[in-house]
Chain A
């Protein structure tokens, strides 16, 4: 489904260039569960953003279903994200003025989906992630694990082909983290959704079919598990 060829990304930090990705190739098949691991600052998030059409590379190509999205306009990228991609972040990134239901349905609001349909989808998803009784709660009234579940529900609300999670368990305790990982695994296995996670946690990586190890913006090792760990 996704094919990255010779992708490079350089950021400017004031005067200094930071080469976040330095010529990177990657293939992700439909329905795969991929873990991206590597030290802090190695370019994991940058890679994930490029896979998720949140950013475009300076060089190289990003094919999503055979379409080169590295040449997409900002609007085309936004549409692609809105329709096909779901993001989960380490810090949850919920909007604190909105309640769970409003947070979950926010992507649909930007798609112009009707209020009634939004409500139904949001409610169903919050029930799926076990928060059917927290619809009206604001993020501040939820625990970390609950917030991350709301964030996952939000990432799923547009029925994406691709779910991306940047250190989704990073701010959670081990047990809660495991719960989140089980949820992602279930979505991958039962929903056939392609899932890409960035993680520091070897436990988390164990859920993946393909593990991509990057250091200094380059893949140093990509291994495919013969069978789920």
Chain B
């Protein structure tokens, strides 16, 4: 029965092909725009979240200062700017699997090839950073040589590729930090060479990395970190522990703020979600126009086929049969528009994704969630059908005798 009606509706759509194409154009454009925007947005969201997920959902990042009382920079309770915190504060806290420490200072650097001296950022890493938290440094990808050994008392350094060439040293070469001799044990891969990924630390190419302990020897103070990464046990309630940590630092010289992957994903989701909704809303206007187009076409169809409707009624079609016929027809128009728009949208975002990938030099692909594809097509069908409701009702209510007299 439904198939028969579908057949009849299809005949009349086919019969006025050009008009049908023009009618669905609005829907095609709207759906193309929406599918493209959402799949690209979702792709962006996915790749950002993917990076954060590398850190793991049970990782808490602790940074100095209270982000809530922030005034032009991180600050402590007294309002002084702080750039370090004491790792010992959280000692004894339950649910902690491992703890990674990062300490950054500005160091005085000398090298043979360097004219004069330079002040550069020197970063100390505790061993657990490389075993548990290397995602923070995008895997800490060594290009040449190897990572310094954490046990040796010898002073060793790993350089970013840019710094290495600026200082004119290679693996095995020497530089001086604060007047002390350091052997270069390794050089990191340049950012361009790593295939994608993202360093939370920032630019690795211009980094100088030494063991955390060495930092203490160079700059003093045994209980100082710039960033602390904490991995919690699987069973821990991350948010709860994060709150506990912030509490422990409250009121101290070195206030601290915690960042959890979950919180970040929420923020990313919120921010990108809002942008996407706004963009999709704009695209939806074109859909609305498409719906009006379908309505207009269907009103015209009712007029043109008034006699035909009369004939159908004369041979026994009920009002509901006519209603169904016209609703199916307008629904079909919507469905075709939606299917075509989805197809174009997928194509367009694949092309756009290619450009984005090249621009970011990071792997990127748009994300086509089944809900998006199915939703877009289903929505278009309902939009079409809904746009046909009034014309279809007008058709259904025609008096057969009047309809047959219509010229």
Contacts and interface: CB of A to CB of B under 8 A. Distances in A.
Nearest to B308: A95
Contacts of A81: 313-316
A76 B22 CA distance: 39
Contact of B319 (A54, A75, A158): A75
B289 interface: no
Given A55-B400, A87-B314, A109-B8, A74 B319 contact: yes
B326 to A, nearest CB: 14
A89 B404 contact: yes
Given A55-B400, A109-B4, A78 B308 contact: no
Contacts of B318: 74-75, 78-79, 110
Contacts of B401: 46, 49, 54-55
B307 A78 contact: no
Nearest to A93: B311
Nearest to B15: A97
Contacts of A87: 314-315
Interface in B280-319: 307-308, 310-319
A110 B316 CA distance: 7
A102 B317 CA distance: 15
Interface in B308-357: 308, 310-321
B315 A110 contact: yes
In this complex, which of A52, A55, A97, A107 has the most chain B Cβ atoms within 10 angstroms of its Cβ? A97
B311 A82 contact: no
A97 B315 contact: no
A228 interface: no
B308 A112 contact: no
A57 to B, nearest CB: 12
Interface string A43-80: 00010010010110000000000000000001100110
B12 interface: yes
In this complex, which of B14, B314, B400, B401 has the most chain A Cβ atoms within 10 angstroms of its Cβ? B314
Contacts of B314: 52, 54, 81, 87, 93
Contacts of B399: 55
Nearest to B321: A110
A52 B8 CA distance: 25
B117 interface: no
A83 interface: yes
A102 B318 CA distance: 18
A115 B2 CA distance: 12
A98 interface: yes
B1 interface: yes
Interface string B170-212: 0000000000000000000000000000000000000000000
| Dominant secondary structure of chain B at its interface with chain A | helix
In this complex, which of B14, B307, B313 has the most chain A Cβ atoms within 10 angstroms of its Cβ? B313
Contacts of B4: 109, 115
Contact of B315 (A46, A74, A82, A98): A82
Contacts of B308: 95
Contact of A79 (B5, B310, B316): B316
A107 B315 contact: yes
Interface string B378-407: 000000000000000000000111001000
B313 A78 contact: yes
Nearest to A155: B315
A77 B6 CA distance: 25
A126 to B, nearest CB: 16
Nearest to A106: B315
Nearest to A54: B400
Interface string A193-228: 000000000000000000000000000000000000
A149 interface: no
Q: Which 4 A-B pairs have the closest CB atoms?
A: A82-B316, A107-B315, A78-B318, A97-B15
Given A89-B404, A97-B11, A106-B315, 8 more contacts: A54-B313, A54-B314, A55-B401, A78-B318, A89-B311, A95-B311, A97-B12, A107-B316
Interface of B: 1, 4-5, 8, 11-12, 14-15, 307-308, 310-321, 399-401, 404
Interface of A: 46, 49, 52, 54-55, 74-75, 78-79, 81-83, 87, 89, 93-95, 97-98, 102, 106-107, 109-112, 115, 154, 158
20 contacts: A46-B401, A74-B319, A75-B318, A78-B313, A79-B316, A79-B318, A81-B313, A81-B316, A82-B317, A89-B311, A89-B404, A93-B311, A93-B404, A107-B316, A109-B5, A110-B316, A110-B317, A110-B318, A111-B316, A158-B315
